Each structure stands twice: as structure tokens, then as C-alpha cells.
Amino acid sequence: MLTRFYIDNFKSLVNFDLPLSHFNCLIGLNGAGKTTLLQALDFASHVMSGEVDKWLHARGWVPADLISRLGKKSNIELAIELEVDGRLVSWEGTFNRTRLACTREVAKVVNLRADGSWLADGSLRLDGTFYELNKGKYWHSPDGSGPAQWNDIPFNYMGSLLSQLKDNQLSALLRKLRDSIQAIRSLDLLSPEQLRRKTRLSDLADDIGGSGQQLGAFIHQLKPTEREQLLVALKRYYPQVTKIHTSVLRGGAIKLELHESYQSNANDEQLGLFPEDLFPEDLVTEARHINDGMLRLLAILAQQFSPYEFVLFDEIENGVNPEITEALVDALVHSPKQLLVTTHSPLVLNYLEDEIARSSVVLIYKRPDGVSRAVRFFEVPMAAERLECLSPGESMLDLSLQRVAESAERMHSIAANMGA
């Protein structure tokens, strides 16, 4: 699980630090930087996978679009802390936008023992470092058999060097660190139009796609037990759904359909109309005719079967009826995956238990100079006071987010001055 994300010089995120929990809910005014943060996390994942060019192309961006206009730096600094096998480890990287590659990387074990006794195998330095890239060479001891040597890099690479090194060149700890960062997936581009697309199974990657364009193909290749679990999950919100059906059309495209069963009511029966007369068989609806909210919910639920471990959803309440919001929030909070969602809805917060709200709700705000900042919402005194007598959503409604942001910034300034 990721516990911290830091990025500097990415759009409005300058010296930006974000604490992370298992479930994370971002709130903030429009334009504060919530979606930018999802993009930054997704960017970090593609840096680690070495696919920055594909990521830029999918968004219609060029490298210059990444850099903040709030300063004069040319590189992007990244840092991620995460838990791996009971150890807290960190990875830092300096991304050069001209080369589209990291020119510096460091991986460390953060929670070292004070006496350093378990570092004697040579896989870690005394400061906890177990991998470093600098000045065109890298250092790592994959098996810990002896002191690592600096190695030349006889090839070009994109993103992180770790994306190009083979598994047998990396220690188990470094492989897990690499894989965990690669397993971040942002669905901030999710759209009904893309969800309705017919996709060929041959084009399928390993999930629904960044904008949802592979939903039908992804569901088609799910195991029967996974398909049944997905149906059970969807029936929690739409009990009339009896089947999630996919079929391969001529040419290889995948068609997605939902089967629904409806019953007559008392008035129908009084008129002599019975279920078998009104609805002799299930109502079948193809994806292009499924309503936006149901289709979006199906995508959110289906993504739970992807290999990605940290999934990000923008404006989770979009298209979702208030009546099913409670069940959706409960499913997200208790998901086995680490999740980050953004919302403008106090209703979403209302269905969070107070303790979960304290650790998960993060306010993203912009300072007057345009720099985005993050703070746990209920760590700001005025919000914490409201939570003593109000629900999380009511606390949000009872406060001006601008005032909370100003209070948070004063707290940040005081802490910075004390640290200096």
C-alpha cells in the first residue's frame, strides 16, 4: 500500500505532499488540483512502466504540458513511500522531460533498525539505500551476496531504468516496489461514450482501459466465477439485472448487454395483466442504450477484478443516484484495493464513519500564488470541531472550503517556520 506521494513541478503541483490511506477521498473547490493529482499519480505509474510517450499520446499532451508554469525548473521530482513485506520503503526519481527519462533514482528502506544489524548482507547501505541511479550508472545488489558495484547502462530507456531491467537483475524487494508503483491506475478519463464502444478482444490490455473503452472486452474475458461475482455486486444496486452477457460479433468486436427482469404491480393484475403477459422474457439492453449511471457503476465494479492495486476515480458520484450512494461508498471503503476518489458531494462524506473520514478525507486547495496543497480535512481545527457534533458531510456543508483552506495554510506556515 502507498502511504505517501510527493511531486514537484508538475502543473499546479509544486512541492506537493500527499498522505495516503487505504481509502482516500479528495474534496476541494473547482480548479484546486484534484484531477491534476490523479494525473500525477498516473504519470508516476507510467514513468515506472517506461511508457511515458504512450501516456502523453493517450491524453493528447506534449512533454511541455507537464511542467509547472509557477517556477523555472525543468525537471519533475517524484517520491513515493509504500509498505512492502512489512517494510516501509521509498522511491525517488528526477524526471527529465527532454529525455522522457529519469536521470536520478534512489530506493531506500525507511524503517531501518537503529543498530543496522540486518544490513550485513550487502544489499543495503547503512542509510537504507538498496538501489541508485545517477550520472548514467546504477547501483544494486540483487542477491545481497556482496557489495554492489556501479554498472554502466549500455542502452537507452524511457521513464524509470527499472522498467528495462530484467527480474533476475533486481532483488525481490525492488521488484515488488517497481510492481506496486506500476499497479497505479487512474480512470479520470472515464466517459459514457468510451464505455459504450465495441472493442476487439485482441486489443484488450488488462483492465477496462483508461477511459473505459475496453469495458466489454474486459468483462468478456473474466472467469465464470468473476463474472458471477460482478453480477452479484451489480444486483446490489440494480436488483432487476439477471445477467451480464457478452458475445463476439463478426469481425471480432465484443458486444456487451445487460438482461433485466421486471414484474407487474397490483394495478396490472387487477386489469388482468400478469408478468408473463407484460414481460414474457428478460429485457435485453445493449451497452449503447444503457444509461450513463448504470454503465459507469458497472465499470467501477468491473475494475475491481483488474490487476491494478491502487485505483483512482474522478468525481465518483457522477451519474449515480443518491439512493445507491450509500451502498457504493460502503463497497469502495471495504474494497481489497487501495482507492482514491474525488467528490463534490457531501452525501459521499455522509456515508463515511467518523474514524474513516478523519484518515481519508483530504482537502485540495490552491494558494493565492496558484500552487496546490493538500491537508487532511478533519485535522484542521474548525473541521475537527464540527465533526464532534455533525456527520462528515454535514461538517463539509457547514464550512466554507475557502476558509478551511486559509486556516490550513496558516497551519502550514507556522509548521514551516518552526521547522526552520
pLDDT digits (tens, 9 = 90+) for 366-388: 999 999 999 999 999 999 999 99
Q: Which of 210, 203, 202 is nearest to 311 (CA)?
A: 210
Alpha carbon distance 243, 86 (integer Å): 41
3-class DSSP assignment, residue 1:
coil
Name, in order, each residue with C-beta under 8 angstroms of 295's C-beta and a sequence gap of 6 or more: 192, 195, 196, 215, 287
| Residue 210, amino acid | G
The mean pLDDT value for 210-218 works out to 92
Averaged pLDDT for residues 112-130? 63
Contacts of residue 323, defined as CB under 8 A and 6 or more positions apart, other chains included, come to: none
Please check whether residue 231 is in contact with residue 241, taking contact to mean a CB–CB distance below 8 angstroms.
Answer: yes
Q: How many structural domains compose the chain?
A: 1
Residue 266 lies in a domain: yes
Q: Residue range 236-248: average pLDDT?
A: 94
Residue 148 lies in a domain: no
Grid cell 468491473 in the structure block, residue: 302
- Determine whether 123 is exposed, middle or buried from the number of CB atoms within 10 Å of its CB (0-12, 13-18, 19+): buried
Q: Say what the alpha-carbon torsion angle 337, 343, 348, 350 is, to the nearest 10 degrees.
A: 120
**Is 126 within the bounds of a domain?**
no
Burial of residue 408, with CB atoms counted within 10 A of its CB: 0-12 exposed, 13-18 middle, 19 or more buried: buried
In this predicted structure, which of 17-31, 58-72, 202-216 has the lowest mean pLDDT? 202-216
Grade residue 402 by pLDDT with cuts at 50, 70 and 90: very high
Backbone angles phi, psi at 261, to 5 degrees: -120, 130
* 338-342 vs 361-366, strand pairing mode: unpaired
Looking at per-residue confidence, does 399 or 201 come out higher? 399
- Please tell me the distance from the alpha carbon of residue 123 to that of residue 146, in angstroms, as a whole number: 7
Looking at per-residue pLDDT, the higher value among 246 and 275 belongs to 246
**Within a domain: 84:** no
Question: Residue 323: its pLDDT value, please?
Answer: 87
Report pLDDT digits (tens) over 78-107. 999 999 988 899 999 999 999 999 999 999
Residue 264 scores a pLDDT above 80: no
Is 206 inside a domain boundary? yes
Structural domain harbouring 251: 194-308
**pLDDT given at position 120:** 43
| 208 neighbors 194 (Cβ within 8 angstroms) | no
The answer to whether residue 257 scores a pLDDT higher than 60 is: yes
Helix (H, G, I), strand (E, B) or coil at 402: helix
How much is the pLDDT for 167?
Answer: 94
Res 123 pLDDT > 80? no
* Calpha distance 382→249 (Å, rounded): 58
Quickly count: other Cβ atoms within 10 Å of residue 94's Cβ.
17
The verdict on residue 371 lying in a domain is no
**Which pLDDT score is estimated for 153?**
94
* Structural domain includes residue 187: no
